Structure 1
């Protein structure tokens, strides 16, 4: 017999104040499961302080020790984690992967269009409501008119798959009205047809100088050792300790979504983790041990080892790229993050960008999210044109630093 559906995921609250909550996942295994779970924990704003992963290739047992917030919706998180687990037939204990045996229908994309009077922090407040409603922002276009009105176009998908219903639309409208109040002029939600979805594509033009600045760091062989020492980062691989697995040991400074970045890289390289342990010390340093395989074997190819190691070093140092550049007489903030091979982008990026700008008391004149292929990877690029107004402007270096800190969780 398989385990009961409700026991796939167990969440144990802390025994005393200050202790982490414990999340236990006991389910069939699949390549990339750790990445999918870590992405959900990141979406819910949880910080992973410790983790253990064990699998025999068919069934896995994962434990996360996490620190949440007073507003964390634990029941909802449990439902989302259960939904991310591969399904199993409890009667016959035969496991199957829904993603492999069933053709997944792409989620419907909806256009949320609203007009309102502008104010500082408005875009972040709207973004926060959408995140709370589990509406995933795929693309956005925001523009401000000379008379102080804002026209926002959000292309969104619904995690709950209910946005086609009247009640879900009304709930979304009411939540936005609660935040915007009398500033809201109009609000519409409609299914984005092909003719509308084409408006969601980002501009094909990206400023060359800014792209060179954001992507100039390449980890060549001679640069790697100095880079690792300067940034206190270590990625070591050993094939002598196990007859069938490669051991990867990682030491680095913690940042928001660190374990997600590691697991995302492993997933994109089709690496399976048979055993893993993650721990975070009081100084904010992380230690990660992973016993891994590729196609059921050790990672013996030196070129694949070097490629994986170089990619991980970059992800540990700069999982997101941030730059503040000139756009004519104006200032533009650019943020880029890599997209998973499956097409998913990093969660909460737009939320954190708008929160950092709100705390800096900096207004947004226009915003755009688009996807671009840079090098051999697809990136999600956020372009934010800042409205510096008539008052004293925030130094560009300060904007870049504060946005980076917010995205990396170093606030």
Structure 2
């Protein structure tokens, strides 16, 4: 109660400071106000942490203490009622006597002073609760909290204790609940100090919204779901679990994947070093240690490659295959990537990222099968895609797309004609639904007229924009500028050009507020404007001049830009990490066009309010950018990032 009282007093002081800072009755500690309140309460930066991060860590500590006290009050209120319910005595020969009351597990003897004093008994209690699908009651949680000092370094290395912990990780579907209960009592951070280090760790940027420990536990909850009852859109990831002989390294790797945070830069490498120490204490064998260390060190690899690289370049899959080494490790890393990405926050895991990650997984999987088997499996997959596209072609009959084929033979002819003009990666990296729509659209554009169509996806919060038109220099800049002038935000893009010179592009778009665009009137206006600009009947300069010229808000982190001539055989790769804003894609594309550079391939993605954009570039005459041009290119791009998006 002393901790709860101190916590409540601290929260009231924060509330008062909020009133001083805002000069009104403001009771919401918003993201933007946190630095000011931290300064007002005299918080100062510490090693590797901003003052606001130190302040927010204290906030979560005090809030948890108040929350625990309230839980005890509620538990006490229900205790008498629980005594009148049927109680079942559970006697374990190697542990404490426990009572099952409803859905809770309680101590057979009340009072934390009678709780078995061995940390091993604490681990057994959580194992029994998990095994019986029960939650430990508040009396057990309080007893564990009062006995946390007993968990010494020797207990962290105790073989029987460690076997009990690994048992928790070997019950997929119930791992997150057990770990969350251990975390709530403080035992998880005490037993694994590496995880204790990131408890209530807040990172002050526009990307992270949860504390590191909460994000990790949420990711483990998602992995549990994928294993037993996959959420919509993640069903195929369950097949990857069949390649995993022991789930413990995967769940342990996910638990430890962010433990290098709060230690300065390079959290993946530092986390891998900490994971090695944990594996050594737990007594894992060399193969399992390698898996855990790999998962932590490379937990960003697959998202990075899938979202920022041209997957038609076989070197990308070969790199991932070389790092993962075998199908089991690849399956583990793919599952971890899926859960980790989706746990960042609502709307971060999109169908576009889903398609990209799965495409990369399949390509790396083929590398393990060998050339002959890989070719056969890829041909099988291509045949399946063709069949699904054919079925959709015959079914589609929507205004604006064009007439569907009159027969199966015509559908097959259209499919072969379209796919034969595109890179081999094209049908493997797009859904049959979008391919079918793009085939119909391309026939509308066959005479050189731009054609645009839309597919709203309300459940994901975005709309897919499909474009077919003759490819010209500056096409992407015109598209991005026109969309920005209409208050349309580009979340992602996939650019392809057929051998006959037709651009067949896909854009994932939303409103400036991040909502799906599904109003038919607005979609018609967007389509009409795009087609008019691209065919020259509307002035592009006049369209772009509509973009709001308000100055940019100060960025929390400086934008990061880099050029690389080693990633691709034929192109220079530009990577941009910057705070997202309406018109950002246009600013970049317009600058590149003015510099006389061709955009051969692009991948744009947005997570929270951060944009991750990648452009594959060549000189106007072809070939990579010579390094002596790099300083000027980067300088002009940086200037464009801080200017209103106008021509």
> Normalising by structure 1, what TM-score?
0.38
Q: Which has the higher contact order (CA 8 A, sep 6+)?
A: 1
Which has the larger share of helix? 2
The structure with the larger Rg is: 2
